[in-house]
Amino acid sequence: MAHIALFHSVLGLRPVELLAAERLRRAGHDVVAPDLFGGLVATTLDEGFGLVEQVGWDTVMQRARLALEGMPEDTVLVGVSMGTGVVSGLWPERTGAAGILLLHATAEVPVNSRPGLGIQLHAADPDPFAPPERVAAMEMTAKGSASVLEVFRYPSAGHFYTDPASPDHNAAAAELTWARVVDFLRRHDPQLAPESRPQRVG
């Protein structure tokens, strides 16, 4: 079982994140999905960016850190779109994280990312929040820290392709994403000794 903190998108904490958290619980994991906007939600990206300004990034990060209080050091950090920015802010402080999962946007790999840390990026192809140059920068930094980055791109999908309520939704890409996420968590289960963890094939 992994302990997971899942951080929502710029649209606020919505059914897509709550359903994702429940899906991961059904897979046997302990999941928290904090509301970083204090109940506020948006229907468009522009509205969402307005909410970030209204709430304030410092408050967003304060709420994220508060959600992690009492969580184990090896808690897996999961970011959905804007949530990857939250992960970027927490990552240098949470060097014991068992894994990093990034959906719909890139994050900055800190210089103190530990060797062997598993990282997955899932993004549409193309996606303005995961352009090739940012992905390449992630790959370079991850390689420099000896972290293990897996990048999965999904053609014919829109930015929020995992969200059934979004016009970007792509059911096949969403199912494949969550299957890969569950496999990632299984392979990086901190409760398993390294020699007991399932090995990636292919």
Read off the pLDDT of residues 153-164 as tens digits, 9 standing for 90 and up: 999 999 999 999
Q: Given this model, what pLDDT does residue 192 score?
A: 57
Q: What is the pLDDT of residue 166?
A: 95
Residues sharing a CB contact under 8 Å with residue 136, sequence separation 6 or more, in sequence order: none
For residues 22-29, give the mean pLDDT: 96
Report the distance separating Cα 119 and Cα 102, nearest Å: 8
What does pTM read for this prediction?
Answer: 0.93
CB count in 10 Å sphere of residue 81: 25
d(CA 113, CA 175): 29
What CA–CA distance (Å, rounded) separates 108 from 121? 12
pLDDT band at 139 (very low <50, low <70, confident <90, very high): very high
Using CA atoms, how far apart are residues 182 and 187, in angstroms rounded to an integer?
9
- The chain-wide mean pLDDT, for the chain, equals 94
